[in-house]
Structure 1
Amino acid sequence: MKLVFLFYISCLLATAITSGVEEDGERWAVLVAGSHKWVHYRHQASVCHAYQLLHNQGIPDDHIVVIMYDDIAYNTQNPNPGVILNEPEGPNVYDGVPIDYKGIHVTPTNFLKVLAGDDTGMADIGSGKVIKSGPNDRIFIDLVDGGGFDHFAFPYSILTAQTLHNHISQMYADKKFKEMMIFIESNDSGSMILNRYPDEMGVYAMTATGEIGNAYAVHWSAELDTWMADAFTLAWMKNSEMNDPTKQTIEEQFNQTREWVARSAVHCYGNMNIQQEFVSAFFGEWKSNSSFNFDLEEFGRLQKDAVPSIDAPIVYLKNHLKSAETEEEIVYWSQQLTSLEKKRNFLEDTTRNIVLSLTKNEELTKEIMNSSDREVNDWDCFGPAVEAFHENCFNLGQNHYGFRMLGTLLSLCAHGYSADEIIKATESVCVFPKFVDID
């Protein structure tokens, strides 16, 4: 009887300990700005702001990995070296940010190694910091940049939705997390998540758009001559700073963020049960004493002048041209604008020539180019087709406008053209020197 009682007590203790571990699982975060260059200032500003939010709410620095190019704070165009702002009269979000991986180390491969806790693979690269998560832990991923259907941009390369899914699926099989929350700021960002993560995996996502749609740049600064923020990312961060994370549910955060973002259709995907948890489950339990100024009504008015991310580089040059004061400046910015427009036209013409080389038919080429279908039924065709376009024609990490052509590649697959045929078409048509900055 005594042995039975002791066994019973030991079982209760084991259950209590296990329950405690479940409740006390650790929080981790990976924050990624996939862009570089001054015109994309807002992406690194957003990631720096996200770091400040999590840091202020008690997530320790050894549990936050920051991946960003780091060419903004001390850029020659920055009138305040060492300062990055995410909103007018806001604090310096760059202050104290421990950037773990920068410059050429900002790649999809390194991001995935960090996420999986591959410290051997990241040895001698940047800080070497990785996510050392376990089965009871929660992981937050913030991806901020341009992108397109089923793809997210890094400075010189691309991350596919399929690759991200395969990687997270392996992490799930290896019991590397209890729950995961992913926020994505990019065009067509919902396509990175849609129909990929079954409930049992414990993955929840909030995206700037649905499967199709533009993300928006806001807070144009005349002093900086660029945008300071992304509408979706600024909205969810301000919402987090204005609400007690131990009392606001993730569902409430989503509903308020969606209401605040006027121009793009904020979406959520994955396991909706996670929405019933409090924001503190991922963002920490300390209420942030934010020094950020935020006028919700002004933010709503501001979005009337928000710019679609895909149009931001054109508007960026037009704004510079408008503010040019000397004849020399007018000539320079006019040339820059004309050059970008010609590059975009060339990219479109090249894509059309790829299609025409396969169809040999003008009407069918037009039909394929104008297709609005965005459902991938053959990833074995679409994936290699995009990779060939990226490798042989236009590096999508450096030419964000190229993401607009992905629908055409998808349509080629849907019309029965094989990956091999599309790859050969890119090789025969794209015989020109590599272009960059068709943003």
Structure 2
Amino acid sequence: MKSTAFLPLALFVLGLASSTVTANDDLENIWAVLIAGSNGWYNYRHQSDVAHAYHLLLKHGVQADRIITFMYDDIANNPQNPYPGKIFNHPNGSDVYAGVKIDYRGENVNSETFLNVLKANATGNAGKGTGRVLGSTRKEHVFVYYSDHGGTDILGMPEGLLSKKDLDGALAYMYEKDLYDKLLFYLEACESGSMFDGLRNDKRIYAITAALYNESSWATFCENPLDLPCLGDEFSVNWIQDSEINDILKESVGHQVDDVVTSTKKSHVCQFGDNTIREEPVADYQGKAEVTKPTPDANSIVAFRAEVLDTAVDSRQVPLIMAERALRKLNASPSQIATRMHNYVSKRADLTDFVSDIVHAVIPRRPLARTVMLKKPARITALDCHDAVIKAFDRDCAPFDRNPYAFALSSVFANLCEVVRDPTPILDQFAVKCVAGPKFTDVL
């Protein structure tokens, strides 16, 4: 049976929900940065989320020249896409790719370029994409939405990583240089709660994460009649839907966040920083145009949320599910599928054993080494050590962009740094065990 739950959202993206934008400086005091920090067909949902968010902001009156968008842009025209040139964020939704202005694509989607955008470093981004960076001042609000993979104190990129140290430094710089009045940050990633631990409430930043520091976020619309990968993420589609069906000129940020906390069932949405931002209208960050919308239908909202839950998958398992689905499309026999899937699971075990060997080499005491392997740290204090170690592991041993399961092991290196504090003995192990370059690939 075809669902109608997404009808108000489809109308919105198609432009059938009308908006009125007047010549008012108040409409122009918002800047936004939208980033999908992944690539690859199985990561379809991250670019889908961001493309949809772009249309949401534009429709609500955020000026196009104040929205800076990062998308690798390998989905819409991917050879595997049965709908060339189109991307969907819901099974019954409209195309969200058309009309999206992408500032940074391909190899320019990386941590350096992203940090330059936040820090208004136009010189650093010269010759990259459009080169656009934030032009915000102490008089303007900034909205940042990031959708990607994550682990303990790290976020993914198509190549390399963004660490908590990186992000902390950029946000501190923005504060010191008066690059915003207030900043609202929505983060979709596994273990995303680890990225904002310790965020002070006097920095005028309110950060919302899809998950706790020790849990996965969840993909959704993974079973869909379009025969596409997971179309969205639970937290992301929930906040976008909330903005699309409600009058965000009247709805407070706190009301939206509370609604998303309630509707996101598979993970625990977390809040950090300046709670006074909760009292402000969502429109102050997502657009102040007057938008005429269909009256929200309670039954449609219930149906939409049920569909999100019914088709949700732990993000850590999406690569394996996509691999199995690809084998079925190739008409592989049940035994062939079983063999291939066993190999993928074995690769996960091999990478885990490799990391365990490093831990035991650095920490001879077995009980402590076991704790390091198994514990999910609530707080990281050895940020310098962790930053150096996790980036070296990505570069020299198991690149995260080619080994998504490595994100699940990022907590091990955080724990190891908490014990030894000095990255040297860990880096020495990498130098020995990864002397010939990266040892792992396709650890899904």
Q: TM-score, normalised by structure 1?
A: 0.89
- Aligned-partner residue type, residue 372 of structure 1: K
Whether contact under 8 Å (1:135, 1:177) holds in the other structure is yes
Which of 299, 306, 311 matches 1:301?
A: 306
Shift of the 379–92 alpha-carbon distance from structure 1 to 2, 3 Å rule, reads same
Which of 33, 47, 50 matches 2:53?
A: 50
Are 1:212 and 2:177 an aligned pair? no
- Aligned-partner residue type, residue 298 of structure 1: A
State the match for 2:317 in structure 1: 311
Whether contact under 8 Å (1:25, 1:136) holds in the other structure is no
State the match for 2:426 in structure 1: 422
Give the superposition deviation at 1:304. Answer: 4.1
Whether contact under 8 Å (1:149, 1:374) holds in the other structure is no
Give the superposition deviation at 1:182. Answer: 0.5
User: Which SS does the other structure have where 2:359 is aligned?
Assistant: helix
Shift of the 287–314 alpha-carbon distance from structure 1 to 2, 3 Å rule, reads farther
Give the superposition deviation at 1:403. Answer: 1.6
Q: Deviations over 1:127-151 (max 9, x none)?
A: 1222111111111111100011111
Shift of the 95–430 alpha-carbon distance from structure 1 to 2, 3 Å rule, reads same
Whether contact under 8 Å (1:83, 1:94) holds in the other structure is yes
State the match for 2:5 in structure 1: none
Q: Deviations over 1:76-97 (max 9, x none)?
A: 1100100100001101000100
Q: Deviations over 1:372-393 (max 9, x none)?
A: 3332122232222222222221
Give the superposition deviation at 1:166. Answer: 1.1
Which of 68, 71, 74 matches 2:71?
A: 68
- Aligned-partner residue type, residue 165 of structure 2: Q
In 2, Cα distance between the equivalents of 1:254 and 1:357?
A: 44
State the match for 1:192 in structure 2: 195
Are 1:251 and 2:254 an aligned pair? yes
Whether contact under 8 Å (2:396, 2:437) holds in the other structure is no
In 2, Cα distance between the equivalents of 1:416 and 1:128?
A: 41
State the match for 1:14 in structure 2: none
In 2, Cα distance between the equivalents of 1:37 and 1:318?
A: 16
- Aligned-partner residue type, residue 119 of structure 1: A
Shift of the 332–226 alpha-carbon distance from structure 1 to 2, 3 Å rule, reads farther
In 2, Cα distance between the equivalents of 1:200 and 1:361?
A: 42
- Aligned-partner residue type, residue 168 of structure 1: L
In 2, Cα distance between the equivalents of 1:97 and 1:372?
A: 38
User: Which SS does the other structure have where 1:414 is aligned?
Assistant: helix
Runs of 4+ aligned structure 1 residues displaced above 6 Å come to: 21-25, 290-294
State the match for 1:202 in structure 2: 204
Which of 30, 33, 57 matches 2:33?
A: 30
Give the superposition deviation at 1:360. Answer: 3.8
Return 5+ residue gaps in structure 2 as ranges.
Answer: 1-23
In 2, Cα distance between the equivalents of 1:333 and 1:431?
A: 34
State the match for 1:326 in structure 2: 331
State the match for 1:79 in structure 2: 82
User: Which SS does the other structure have where 1:199 is aligned?
Assistant: coil
In 2, Cα distance between the equivalents of 1:112 and 1:102?
A: 15
Shift of the 252–401 alpha-carbon distance from structure 1 to 2, 3 Å rule, reads same
**Quick check: 355-364 or 113-122, which moved more?**
355-364
State the match for 2:442 in structure 1: 437
Q: Deviations over 1:216-264 (max 9, x none)?
A: 0110225334100100000000000011111100000001111111111
Whether contact under 8 Å (1:33, 1:69) holds in the other structure is yes
- Aligned-partner residue type, residue 367 of structure 1: T
State the match for 1:402 in structure 2: 406
In 2, Cα distance between the equivalents of 1:325 and 1:388?
A: 37
In 2, Cα distance between the equivalents of 1:202 and 1:51?
A: 24
Determine which structure has greater relative contact order: mean sequence separation of CA pairs < 8 Å that are 6+ residues apart, divided by chain length.
Answer: 2
State the match for 1:183 in structure 2: 186
Shift of the 283–191 alpha-carbon distance from structure 1 to 2, 3 Å rule, reads same
In 2, Cα distance between the equivalents of 1:271 and 1:375?
A: 19
Shift of the 289–79 alpha-carbon distance from structure 1 to 2, 3 Å rule, reads farther
Shift of the 130–180 alpha-carbon distance from structure 1 to 2, 3 Å rule, reads same
Give the superposition deviation at 1:183. Answer: 0.5
Shift of the 422–101 alpha-carbon distance from structure 1 to 2, 3 Å rule, reads same
User: Which SS does the other structure have where 1:131 is aligned?
Assistant: coil
Give the superposition deviation at 1:290. Answer: 6.6
Give the superposition deviation at 1:25. Answer: 6.7
Give the superposition deviation at 1:332. Answer: 6.8
In 1, Cα distance between the equivalents of 2:302 and 2:94?
A: 21
Shift of the 247–33 alpha-carbon distance from structure 1 to 2, 3 Å rule, reads same
Are 1:103 and 2:106 an aligned pair? yes
- Aligned-partner residue type, residue 200 of structure 1: D
**Quick check: 176-185 or 300-309, which moved more?**
300-309
State the match for 1:261 in structure 2: 264
Whether contact under 8 Å (2:156, 2:162) holds in the other structure is yes
In 1, Cα distance between the equivalents of 2:179 and 2:330?
A: 56
Are 1:383 and 2:387 an aligned pair? yes
In 2, Cα distance between the equivalents of 1:123 and 1:317?
A: 38
State the match for 1:145 in structure 2: 148
Give the superposition deviation at 1:267. Answer: 1.3
In 2, Cα distance between the equivalents of 1:226 and 1:289?
A: 32
Return 5+ residue gaps in structure 1 as ranges.
Answer: 1-20
Whether contact under 8 Å (1:31, 1:67) holds in the other structure is yes
Are 1:134 and 2:133 an aligned pair? no
Whether contact under 8 Å (1:35, 1:69) holds in the other structure is yes
The percentage of counterpart residues that share the same residue type is 29
- Indicate the structure (1 or 2) with the bigger Cα radius of gyration: 1
User: Which SS does the other structure have where 1:133 is aligned?
Assistant: coil
Aligned length: 416
C-alpha RMSD over aligned residues: 2.4
State the match for 1:117 in structure 2: 120
Shift of the 289–124 alpha-carbon distance from structure 1 to 2, 3 Å rule, reads farther
